[in-house]
Amino acid sequence: MYCLEGSTSEHLDLKLIPGDPQPSVLGDEPHRTRSGLTNIMAKAIGALNKRDCDVVINFGHDELPYRLTGGGILNVIPLHTGANIDADAAIRDAIRGGMGHTLGFLSKSQAADYGVSLDEPLSCPIEVPWAPAVKPKDGLLFAGRVTRAKGVLNAVGVSKCVGMPLNIAGMAGDADVVDTAKAAGAQMLGCLRRADLYSTMRKSAALLQLQVADMCKETFGMVTAEALCCGLPVVTWDVGANVEIMDGESGIVVPLGDLRAACEAAREVSAWSRDHREDIRRRAVDRFSLVAVGKKYSQWIAETV
Protein backbone atom coordinates (compact mmCIF):
# COMPACT_ATOMS: atom_id res chain seq x y z
CA MET A 1 0.00 0.00 0.00
CA TYR A 2 1.42 3.37 -1.07
CA CYS A 3 1.10 6.04 1.65
CA LEU A 4 2.57 9.42 2.41
CA GLU A 5 5.71 9.57 4.51
CA GLY A 6 4.83 9.60 8.19
CA SER A 7 2.04 7.03 7.81
CA THR A 8 2.12 4.04 10.16
CA SER A 9 0.26 0.73 10.46
CA GLU A 10 0.61 -2.31 12.67
CA HIS A 11 -0.94 -4.65 10.10
CA LEU A 12 -0.25 -3.34 6.57
CA ASP A 13 2.92 -3.30 4.49
CA LEU A 14 3.23 0.42 3.75
CA LYS A 15 5.43 1.84 1.03
CA LEU A 16 6.08 5.44 2.09
CA ILE A 17 6.10 8.13 -0.59
CA PRO A 18 7.43 11.68 -0.05
CA GLY A 19 5.14 14.68 -0.43
CA ASP A 20 2.56 16.86 1.29
CA PRO A 21 -1.04 15.75 1.91
CA GLN A 22 -3.83 17.21 -0.18
CA PRO A 23 -5.89 20.02 1.39
CA SER A 24 -9.21 19.09 2.97
CA VAL A 25 -12.15 18.99 0.56
CA LEU A 26 -14.18 20.92 3.15
CA GLY A 27 -11.51 23.56 3.78
CA ASP A 28 -10.07 26.44 1.83
CA GLU A 29 -6.36 25.56 2.08
CA PRO A 30 -4.27 26.18 -1.06
CA HIS A 31 -3.05 23.20 -3.05
CA ARG A 32 0.42 22.01 -2.07
CA THR A 33 3.37 22.45 -4.43
CA ARG A 34 5.03 19.24 -3.17
CA SER A 35 2.11 16.99 -3.95
CA GLY A 36 2.23 13.59 -2.32
CA LEU A 37 -0.76 12.50 -4.40
CA THR A 38 1.11 13.14 -7.66
CA ASN A 39 4.03 11.07 -6.39
CA ILE A 40 1.75 8.24 -5.26
CA MET A 41 -0.09 8.10 -8.59
CA ALA A 42 3.23 8.08 -10.48
CA LYS A 43 4.38 5.11 -8.38
CA ALA A 44 1.05 3.33 -8.87
CA ILE A 45 1.10 3.78 -12.65
CA GLY A 46 4.68 2.53 -12.71
CA ALA A 47 3.60 -0.59 -10.81
CA LEU A 48 0.79 -1.18 -13.30
CA ASN A 49 3.11 -0.79 -16.27
CA LYS A 50 5.58 -3.27 -14.77
CA ARG A 51 2.75 -5.71 -13.99
CA ASP A 52 3.57 -5.52 -10.28
CA CYS A 53 -0.17 -5.14 -9.63
CA ASP A 54 -3.41 -5.70 -11.55
CA VAL A 55 -5.44 -2.71 -10.44
CA VAL A 56 -5.09 0.62 -8.62
CA ILE A 57 -8.10 1.77 -6.62
CA ASN A 58 -8.47 5.37 -5.46
CA PHE A 59 -10.81 6.20 -2.58
CA GLY A 60 -9.87 9.88 -2.38
CA HIS A 61 -11.75 13.00 -3.35
CA ASP A 62 -9.05 14.77 -5.38
CA GLU A 63 -9.09 15.55 -9.10
CA LEU A 64 -5.93 13.84 -10.35
CA PRO A 65 -6.92 10.13 -10.08
CA TYR A 66 -10.19 10.83 -11.92
CA ARG A 67 -8.21 12.37 -14.77
CA LEU A 68 -6.18 9.15 -14.97
CA THR A 69 -9.08 6.69 -14.74
CA GLY A 70 -8.92 3.62 -16.98
CA GLY A 71 -6.05 1.30 -17.82
CA GLY A 72 -6.29 -0.45 -14.49
CA ILE A 73 -7.09 2.66 -12.43
CA LEU A 74 -10.49 2.58 -10.72
CA ASN A 75 -12.05 5.28 -8.56
CA VAL A 76 -14.56 4.83 -5.76
CA ILE A 77 -16.28 8.18 -5.33
CA PRO A 78 -16.32 8.93 -1.59
CA LEU A 79 -18.53 11.12 0.56
CA HIS A 80 -18.26 14.90 0.03
CA THR A 81 -16.61 14.61 -3.41
CA GLY A 82 -19.20 16.99 -4.86
CA ALA A 83 -17.75 19.73 -2.63
CA ASN A 84 -14.48 19.53 -4.60
CA ILE A 85 -15.30 21.41 -7.81
CA ASP A 86 -12.25 20.14 -9.70
CA ALA A 87 -12.87 16.49 -8.78
CA ASP A 88 -16.56 16.83 -9.61
CA ALA A 89 -15.68 18.17 -13.07
CA ALA A 90 -13.15 15.38 -13.61
CA ILE A 91 -15.77 12.74 -12.73
CA ARG A 92 -18.23 14.21 -15.21
CA ASP A 93 -15.52 14.37 -17.89
CA ALA A 94 -14.69 10.70 -17.27
CA ILE A 95 -18.34 9.75 -17.73
CA ARG A 96 -18.64 11.81 -20.91
CA GLY A 97 -15.45 10.14 -22.16
CA GLY A 98 -16.98 6.68 -21.81
CA MET A 99 -15.12 5.75 -18.62
CA GLY A 100 -18.12 5.70 -16.30
CA HIS A 101 -17.70 1.95 -15.75
CA THR A 102 -14.42 2.65 -13.93
CA LEU A 103 -16.22 4.76 -11.31
CA GLY A 104 -17.71 3.15 -8.22
CA PHE A 105 -20.72 4.85 -6.62
CA LEU A 106 -21.81 4.39 -3.01
CA SER A 107 -25.53 4.80 -3.67
CA LYS A 108 -28.06 5.09 -6.48
CA SER A 109 -28.70 8.65 -5.33
CA GLN A 110 -25.03 9.58 -5.70
CA ALA A 111 -24.88 7.98 -9.16
CA ALA A 112 -28.05 9.80 -10.24
CA ASP A 113 -26.38 13.13 -9.45
CA TYR A 114 -23.96 12.29 -12.28
CA GLY A 115 -26.65 11.03 -14.64
CA VAL A 116 -25.77 7.37 -14.05
CA SER A 117 -28.42 4.70 -13.42
CA LEU A 118 -27.36 1.78 -11.22
CA ASP A 119 -28.98 -1.48 -10.19
CA GLU A 120 -26.49 -2.24 -7.42
CA PRO A 121 -24.19 0.45 -5.91
CA LEU A 122 -21.05 -0.46 -3.98
CA SER A 123 -22.11 0.83 -0.54
CA CYS A 124 -19.90 1.60 2.47
CA PRO A 125 -18.71 -1.03 4.94
CA ILE A 126 -19.80 -0.57 8.56
CA GLU A 127 -17.86 -2.39 11.26
CA VAL A 128 -19.86 -2.21 14.48
CA PRO A 129 -18.65 -4.47 17.33
CA TRP A 130 -21.25 -7.16 17.94
CA ALA A 131 -23.71 -6.60 20.74
CA PRO A 132 -27.35 -7.64 21.04
CA ALA A 133 -30.06 -5.03 20.61
CA VAL A 134 -31.46 -3.73 23.88
CA LYS A 135 -34.68 -2.14 25.05
CA PRO A 136 -34.11 1.61 24.70
CA LYS A 137 -33.47 3.59 27.88
CA ASP A 138 -32.76 7.01 26.41
CA GLY A 139 -34.78 9.32 24.20
CA LEU A 140 -34.50 10.29 20.57
CA LEU A 141 -31.12 10.77 18.91
CA PHE A 142 -29.67 13.08 16.31
CA ALA A 143 -26.15 12.21 15.13
CA GLY A 144 -24.14 14.31 12.72
CA ARG A 145 -22.79 17.80 12.25
CA VAL A 146 -24.92 20.21 14.29
CA THR A 147 -26.12 22.51 11.51
CA ARG A 148 -29.41 23.76 10.13
CA ALA A 149 -28.83 21.84 6.89
CA LYS A 150 -28.49 18.52 8.73
CA GLY A 151 -31.98 18.91 10.16
CA VAL A 152 -31.17 19.51 13.83
CA LEU A 153 -34.08 21.93 14.25
CA ASN A 154 -36.45 19.40 12.68
CA ALA A 155 -35.25 16.87 15.24
CA VAL A 156 -35.85 19.40 18.02
CA GLY A 157 -39.39 19.97 16.73
CA VAL A 158 -40.16 16.24 16.67
CA SER A 159 -38.76 15.85 20.19
CA LYS A 160 -41.03 18.57 21.52
CA CYS A 161 -44.02 17.18 19.63
CA VAL A 162 -43.73 13.65 21.04
CA GLY A 163 -42.59 14.74 24.49
CA MET A 164 -39.38 12.71 24.42
CA PRO A 165 -35.88 14.00 25.28
CA LEU A 166 -33.43 14.56 22.43
CA ASN A 167 -29.72 13.75 22.56
CA ILE A 168 -27.48 15.40 19.95
CA ALA A 169 -24.16 13.76 19.09
CA GLY A 170 -21.83 15.57 16.74
CA MET A 171 -19.51 18.46 16.09
CA ALA A 172 -21.04 21.89 16.62
CA GLY A 173 -21.46 23.78 13.36
CA ASP A 174 -24.05 26.58 13.53
CA ALA A 175 -23.91 28.44 16.86
CA ASP A 176 -27.52 29.63 16.61
CA VAL A 177 -28.71 26.05 16.02
CA VAL A 178 -26.78 24.85 19.07
CA ASP A 179 -28.32 27.63 21.18
CA THR A 180 -31.84 26.83 19.96
CA ALA A 181 -31.41 23.13 20.66
CA LYS A 182 -30.09 23.79 24.16
CA ALA A 183 -32.94 26.19 24.90
CA ALA A 184 -35.39 23.45 23.89
CA GLY A 185 -33.80 21.08 26.41
CA ALA A 186 -31.70 18.95 24.05
CA GLN A 187 -28.68 17.26 25.59
CA MET A 188 -25.48 18.09 23.69
CA LEU A 189 -23.19 15.04 23.76
CA GLY A 190 -20.44 16.51 21.60
CA CYS A 191 -18.38 14.58 19.07
CA LEU A 192 -18.27 11.01 20.40
CA ARG A 193 -15.74 8.29 19.77
CA ARG A 194 -17.16 5.53 17.59
CA ALA A 195 -17.51 3.08 20.50
CA ASP A 196 -19.39 5.69 22.55
CA LEU A 197 -21.60 6.63 19.61
CA TYR A 198 -22.57 3.00 19.03
CA SER A 199 -23.32 2.55 22.74
CA THR A 200 -25.54 5.64 22.62
CA MET A 201 -27.31 4.35 19.51
CA ARG A 202 -28.09 1.02 21.14
CA LYS A 203 -29.77 2.76 24.08
CA SER A 204 -31.74 5.33 22.04
CA ALA A 205 -35.38 5.02 21.02
CA ALA A 206 -35.03 6.29 17.43
CA LEU A 207 -32.62 8.13 15.15
CA LEU A 208 -33.99 11.25 13.44
CA GLN A 209 -32.54 11.93 9.98
CA LEU A 210 -34.60 14.87 8.76
CA GLN A 211 -32.19 16.96 6.70
CA VAL A 212 -33.22 20.20 5.01
CA ALA A 213 -33.52 18.86 1.47
CA ASP A 214 -32.46 21.96 -0.46
CA MET A 215 -29.41 22.44 1.79
CA CYS A 216 -28.16 18.90 2.38
CA LYS A 217 -28.39 15.74 0.30
CA GLU A 218 -26.96 12.54 1.73
CA THR A 219 -24.49 10.74 -0.55
CA PHE A 220 -24.78 7.45 1.28
CA GLY A 221 -26.41 7.74 4.70
CA MET A 222 -23.51 6.56 6.85
CA VAL A 223 -25.14 7.49 10.16
CA THR A 224 -28.35 5.72 9.14
CA ALA A 225 -26.44 2.53 8.29
CA GLU A 226 -24.50 2.69 11.56
CA ALA A 227 -27.72 3.12 13.51
CA LEU A 228 -29.34 0.11 11.85
CA CYS A 229 -26.24 -1.98 12.61
CA CYS A 230 -26.85 -1.09 16.27
CA GLY A 231 -30.51 -2.08 16.08
CA LEU A 232 -31.72 1.53 16.21
CA PRO A 233 -34.80 2.29 14.08
CA VAL A 234 -34.66 5.40 11.90
CA VAL A 235 -37.16 8.07 10.89
CA THR A 236 -36.22 9.85 7.65
CA TRP A 237 -37.63 11.67 4.64
CA ASP A 238 -38.53 9.87 1.41
CA VAL A 239 -35.65 11.43 -0.58
CA GLY A 240 -31.92 10.84 -0.95
CA ALA A 241 -29.65 7.97 -0.08
CA ASN A 242 -31.17 7.38 3.37
CA VAL A 243 -34.18 5.78 1.67
CA GLU A 244 -31.89 3.21 0.01
CA ILE A 245 -30.52 2.19 3.42
CA MET A 246 -33.98 1.43 4.78
CA ASP A 247 -35.56 -1.96 4.05
CA GLY A 248 -39.18 -1.43 5.06
CA GLU A 249 -38.75 -2.98 8.50
CA SER A 250 -35.92 -0.85 9.86
CA GLY A 251 -37.77 2.39 10.49
CA ILE A 252 -40.30 4.65 8.84
CA VAL A 253 -39.89 6.82 5.75
CA VAL A 254 -42.17 9.86 5.74
CA PRO A 255 -43.02 12.44 3.06
CA LEU A 256 -40.44 15.20 2.73
CA GLY A 257 -41.21 18.08 5.09
CA ASP A 258 -44.15 16.41 6.84
CA LEU A 259 -43.17 16.95 10.47
CA ARG A 260 -46.51 15.65 11.74
CA ALA A 261 -45.85 12.33 10.00
CA ALA A 262 -42.31 12.36 11.42
CA CYS A 263 -43.72 12.79 14.93
CA GLU A 264 -46.14 9.90 14.48
CA ALA A 265 -43.33 7.74 13.08
CA ALA A 266 -41.04 8.58 16.02
CA ARG A 267 -43.75 7.54 18.48
CA GLU A 268 -44.33 4.28 16.62
CA VAL A 269 -40.73 3.10 16.23
CA SER A 270 -39.87 4.09 19.81
CA ALA A 271 -42.30 1.42 20.97
CA TRP A 272 -40.80 -1.36 18.86
CA SER A 273 -39.74 -4.43 20.82
CA ARG A 274 -36.21 -5.60 21.52
CA ASP A 275 -36.77 -8.54 19.14
CA HIS A 276 -37.75 -6.13 16.37
CA ARG A 277 -34.59 -4.09 17.03
CA GLU A 278 -32.49 -7.25 16.95
CA ASP A 279 -33.96 -8.11 13.53
CA ILE A 280 -33.00 -4.62 12.34
CA ARG A 281 -29.44 -5.13 13.59
CA ARG A 282 -29.05 -8.56 12.03
CA ARG A 283 -30.30 -7.54 8.59
CA ALA A 284 -28.15 -4.40 8.54
CA VAL A 285 -25.00 -6.33 9.48
CA ASP A 286 -25.76 -8.82 6.70
CA ARG A 287 -25.79 -5.91 4.24
CA PHE A 288 -23.05 -3.60 5.50
CA SER A 289 -20.39 -5.81 7.10
CA LEU A 290 -16.85 -5.72 5.71
CA VAL A 291 -17.38 -9.20 4.25
CA ALA A 292 -20.69 -8.34 2.54
CA VAL A 293 -19.47 -5.05 1.07
CA GLY A 294 -16.10 -6.59 0.19
CA LYS A 295 -17.89 -9.10 -2.04
CA LYS A 296 -19.52 -6.20 -3.93
CA TYR A 297 -16.15 -4.56 -4.48
CA SER A 298 -14.56 -7.81 -5.62
CA GLN A 299 -17.33 -8.38 -8.14
CA TRP A 300 -17.10 -4.81 -9.42
CA ILE A 301 -13.33 -5.06 -9.88
CA ALA A 302 -13.61 -8.41 -11.66
CA GLU A 303 -16.26 -7.06 -14.05
CA THR A 304 -14.40 -3.81 -14.73
CA VAL A 305 -10.72 -4.64 -15.15
| 218: confidence class by pLDDT, cuts 50, 70, 90 | confident
Distance CA 1, CA 17 (A): 10
Identify the CA nearest to 109 among candidates 79, 87, 139. Answer: 79
Instruction: Report the pLDDT averaged over residues 76-87.
Output: 77
| 25: confidence class by pLDDT, cuts 50, 70, 90 | very low
Name the more confident of 144 and 69. 144
| Other C-beta atoms lying within 10 Å of the C-beta of residue 51 | 8
Residue intervals of the chain classified under CATH 3.40.50.2000 are 140-288
Per-residue pLDDT tens digits for 112-130:
999 999 888 999 999 888 7
Per-residue pLDDT tens digits for 253-282:
999 999 999 999 999 999 999 999 999 999
Q: What percent of the chain has pLDDT over 70?
A: 93
- pLDDT(22) > 80: no
Say how far residue 197 (Cα) sits from the centre of its chain.
Answer: 15
- pLDDT(71) > 60: yes
What are the CA-CA distances from residue 221 to residues 10, 100, 102, 288 (Å)?
Answer: 30, 23, 23, 12
Residue type for position 188: M
Return the pLDDT at 81: 62
Return the pLDDT at 264: 98
Report the mean per-residue pLDDT for the chain: 88
Instruction: Report the pLDDT averaged over residues 91-106.
Output: 92
- pLDDT(26) > 50: no
- Residue 54: φ, ψ to 5°: -95, -30
Query: H/E element holding 208?
Result: strand 206-209
Name the more confident of 35 and 206. 206
Task: Please give the CATH topology (third level) of the domain spanning 140-288.
Answer: Rossmann fold (3.40.50)
